[in-house]
A and B are shown apart, each in its own frame.
Chain A
């Protein structure tokens, strides 16, 4: 491509913009207003199901499971009190249970100490009663009787009350959440979020304080996560805002130099998010956070390039409009290329089979496009207001001249010490390359967010109690024929699977239809524990289930489908260790296949989803990284028309990718949704400076025909901008480091490391590679 021709096009465009600035401003404000309306249409996704693309086998399996067994999400409340069997506690537990049942929008059924299907065997039959009577007694003898009854069925008691009588577990099963198209008509908050919010509001009412309630379940976890992320995002954006203003003030030493980038950044964000809203694209807290911070950082960086050139020329000439036009002419193409390569790198996220990762790619690309548009059209307009000045009498004595001179010296030094620099670069890259082997994915809240965050701390503490549980998964067994599921031999096999599950380290408890059948059998036989087993007669099983339903029991359909073809075994976990649980799930499936050789066996629920997602992230991360390298290389080749230039553009940028990956391995930073976004993003941004460097060196080399001179000239004009843009981007990203959430702080550290290593690679390696590879032609011939 002929850079001089392209630059002249930018010059023409800048001329047009400045002479039609009222038109540009008018169109811009109309666009901003339109976009602002679009931002109101954005709906935050929160459900983990939304992470999967619509044809994903895991999602299809989950949806099939939900259509059969209902919603696998639940909310639960752990109640703690010195004595849960006191009249006061029982009254409050009943009140809380009733309120959860009546006031949770999606509540289907509540199981609690005061609201449970409880049948007791008698000499001539059975009696159906409540553990806690309608009228709660106040005398100690009656309260003791309630306590005795609560512990009378040990298999039921262990799911309901703690051994010491200080805790009880209130479980709220949820009805299926409606389709997006249904709930969006009446609400802009998803059903899981509403459920989490309502559960929190109810449980944390002052009147229940004596019960010290702790809420559990994925809807509440998601809600708390969003709330935390919202406050954290505000804090970090505030930090980024202040830091960038300080850095810009130092760099530009002018109010206009601060206002122009901030104005374009904010406008670009409104336009970008407005487009996302109008297009109805996927957004969640993580994708928004990355898009926000990246857009903000890039916008300021692009502006700095433009402003730096403008300022230098303005100081030299004193002519405002002419300086803007020249700045656009010289840096417009570089800025555009920077934006395009970053967008191309971000678009490689589309290779991932994960909706939020794809959204990061699309949403950030849209925002970056908005940044480019505002930077090219609006920044020149903002800078054009104001008067001309007297030109600086001695440019060399100005700040710009002083810094430029030092950068020039630096360029000479780099070329002189090329051997040591290359050796050090290879050593660091190798060391980090080894670290890449140790990168491990993780999705559990302890590893990714960490105990420093209050909501995570309380969740983990809840899980460590005798009753509390947060994560669960299901084993679904699909038998060959209808009615197979109620055959005694199959139920007995399911029961033996449950015994195997009991032996797993992570099991807190399990639930299945066998609990109901065994309970009914035991009850009908005078509470004799020797009958707490699956009867061997098929008709007996069917009749017990019928009796259960006739007695008002509604739980059986949660565990066995209408065709009596599918069985469900739910395993609640005491903690989540991604590797351990994967092994346990594999073992359980293996055992299930042995016991049910003709059946289809699969695990479903959040934990298997996490496991699959981890595999996607691992695979996707690799693909995305390779693709971004390839795409950027191709773009550089197309732009500069030379494989050598493309190679030189790539080498200093692969190094930071390896350094980021290596740090993750050596420092044990897990690969999660946020860190997975890093390498392609760092590649996309890091290459910007390389492009600026190549662009200017190319022009300089064409003018002087000498590599050393060309490199020194580039350092003089671009050195400051390259360093400053990296400092600003790093400073913006560094806001994440102060976060208490592990994944955010890791992201911040790695992003800054990536940016700094990219800068060092650009400053030290790129000039050396220019000379080594004679990228713009052989010097002698040119001279």
Chain B
């Protein structure tokens, strides 16, 4: 079967609209199988009706992002955690 999905880098632009950090560089842990890896490594389906990021290990849904007129919906219930690398002193420069 040919790959019918994009890689997680396709999420960079749409997520940058919501977050100040580049979420695709964060480490997500799959709530289904526990696999941890960069959001940029998710298998991404869409963009319509919405972006669906699936775990590259078990194909379960980690992240969903729907962009409507005037609102975006982000569902992260498939992610146990997101680890975002930040400066040690807690200040962003």
Bound pair (A, B): no
Residues of B within 8 A of A (CB): none
Residues of A within 8 A of B (CB): none
